[in-house]
Amino acid sequence: MRTSALLGVLILAGCGVRASGQATTAPPPPSPASRTTPPTTPTGAVPSIATGTPARARGADGVVLGPNRAGWWNDAVFYEVFVRSFADSSSGALANDGIGDIPGLIEKLDYLNDGDPATTMDLGVTGLWLMPIHPSPSYHGYDVKDYRGVNPQYGTLEDFRRLVAACHKRGIRVILDMVLNHCSDENPWFVGAADPASPKHDWFIWADADPGWKGPWKEQVWHKVRKGGDKPLWYYGIFSGRMPDLNYRNAQVSEEMLRVTDFWVDKEHGVGADGYRLDAVRHLVEDGQVQENTPETHAWLKKFHAELKRANPEGVSIGEVWTSSEVASSYVGDELDMTFEFDLSFAMVEAAKTGKAQPVIDAQAKVLRCYRPNQYGRFLTNHDQARVLTALKGDGGAMRSAAALMLLGPGVPFIYYGEELGMIGDKPDENLRRPMRWTTDDGAGFTKGKPWEGMGKEPPETCVASETGDAGSLLAWYRRLIALRKAHGALAHGGYAPVRTGNPGVIAFVRTGEEPVLVIVNLTGEPVREYALEGPEATLKGSWVVREALHGGKPGAGGAGGAGGADGPKPIAELAAHEAYALVMTARPVGAPVEQKR
């Protein structure tokens, strides 16, 4: 073990703009008109969109100030599951029908977290995000027929209660995908609603003629009633004619969706869920052709937030606000607990792919200027994007770098199922949501029947069974990173201080806290000796006992008993290709002798 007087660091920050997709079936858009009258904004006009980060206390460098931990979610690592593709149950009414279900998910919970902190063969996640489980006419479930029900292909409400109980026993919290923006055209609310006499008519947005304007991706957002009466009638659905938007200007709609919120999370009378991931949430309330981020949307989400905390004070909400960091962060606080940070996700994948650290340095700096500390979802890709390894052109080393950036950085990590194995897939969406690979068998251990969707093109060894016993596998790497994050409060919910490295392919930062952790990642495919750590301001002064914790002090890791390492600006003599290091910094007791380099 070596003692080192380590560098100082300065916290950076920034804020920028970027827009893109959405989570239902396509990339995300702006939203539309109200009720039965056509929009008042002239066709072709560019409506203004009220955005911008809320007034927040900031340091002299522009970084948002505040506590690093707002709730239990800041200690969690989440795992996103598409129930249909995770595991088909092996017994019971739904067994081996080729469709993943809730009983099958329960059977596999020990893979996610076995509840025993002494074991190392589980993944170690402590949060579970379930993509929609409600009854739906589609395979993906983002068009809901019954907000209080469970898709019968997945199981029953009682099955869901059993899942929550089993998860809580293992220390896993469960959040549900909630689609507030729109429902299915087969939802009883919409069936018959075209009739002006229907009590649900004003639950949707109508026009007597096609208003003639498009959505944010130039898509058709006005749809003709398929079974009309004497006069034509059009309704608004930003994502599809099969997904009519709900009219939140109607007080009954607003109240009903707040009651739905209560149903799943109420601490005393609810089903037991711990919160929500909110789909397409920036499109809730339209104002003519302004189809996103309206003041009315922000106002309604304040009602939602208050109701969620009343029903379950520990309930969490994270929103899909697929746009710039500046706009996404404007929802965080009294509207949502977190939003997903898309700009940062793009930057982490880009940095891993190119071996250049600057995209992540810039994106993280921007995030620090926009969000309350750590109140955002940190992820690589999700169910709407090419899987990470596909985006990285199959580069396994780059995949390791990307995983380290995501799991050792600030914010709340979200892993997409199968990502930890190296599953691949690109558009269309079904290819991104193929069955989980458990074994090398024909059905990949997912089912003994015929899978609802064919397996991906990964080698059969890309599976839990093959990777579990391989210390060099991607799965083993994810397990180590998660375990390290859970073991150190600085990594779970500490601050962030960037460190200059003098090498464009190396990124370094300190996760600050009671026991800081210095993270160094070589993003390149070659060993690196030419780098030096330096901070422009001595915010971490003093002598430290430095222990490399990610590699167990093996030679070259710079940890206890390791052959590598150096004091001061270069604690690791040589950074291996695509390797990450985590140096835990413990203050040396006053008067203790400084161990010399060997």
Q: Does the annotation count 430 as an active-site position?
A: no
Instruction: Identify which of 414, 567, 546, 544 has the alpha carbon closest to the alpha carbon of residue 485.
Output: 414
* Residue carrying the six token digits 């970027």: 18
Alpha-carbon gap, residue 222 to 32, rounded angstroms = 9
Other beta carbons less than 10 A from residue 40's beta carbon: 10
Q: What share of the chain is helix, strand, coil (3-state, %, to 5)?
A: 25, 15, 60
Residue of 279, 337, 343, 567 with catalytic role: 279
Using only C-alpha atoms, what is the Rg of the chain?
Answer: 25
Alpha-carbon gap, residue 391 to 396, rounded angstroms = 11
Alpha-carbon gap, residue 225 to 236, rounded angstroms = 10
3-state secondary structure 165-224: HHHHHCCCEEEEEECCCECCCCCCCCCCCCCCCCCCHHHECEECCCCCCCCCCCCCCEEE
Cα–Cα–Cα angle for 571, 572, 575, rounded to 5 degrees: 150
Other beta carbons less than 10 A from residue 202's beta carbon: 18
User: How many residues are present in the chain?
Assistant: 598
Q: Return all residues near 254 (Cβ < 8 A) that are at least 6 apart.
A: 248, 300, 303
Distances (CA, A) of 164 to 270, 273, 511: 12, 7, 32
* Residue carrying the six token digits 């711990």: 274
Are the CB atoms for 552 and 501 separated by under 8 Å? no
Residue 91 phi, psi dihedral angles, 5° rounding: -150, 165
Q: Does the annotation count 320 as an active-site position?
A: yes
Alpha-carbon gap, residue 418 to 312, rounded angstroms = 31
Alpha-carbon gap, residue 222 to 564, rounded angstroms = 64
* Residue carrying the six token digits 């149903």: 263
Instruction: Identify each DSSP E strand in 35-168 by its residue range.
Output: 78-81, 127-130
Alpha-carbon gap, residue 265 to 308, rounded angstroms = 8
Alpha-carbon gap, residue 348 to 521, rounded angstroms = 12
Residue of 320, 384, 419, 548 with catalytic role: 320
Q: On the CB side of 340, how many CA atoms lie within 13 Å of its CA? A: 29
Instruction: Identify which of 307, 289, 74, 83 has the alpha carbon closest to the alpha carbon of residue 180.
Output: 307
- Token readout for 584 is 């835990």
Alpha-carbon gap, residue 145 to 283, rounded angstroms = 20
Give 194-201's long-range contacts (Cβ < 8 A, gap of 24+).
194/225, 194/227, 194/228, 194/229, 194/233, 194/235, 195/229
Burial of 596 (0-12, 13-18, 19+ CB in 10 A): exposed
> How far apart, in Å, do the first and last CA atoms of the chain sit?
10
Residues tagged active-site: 279, 320
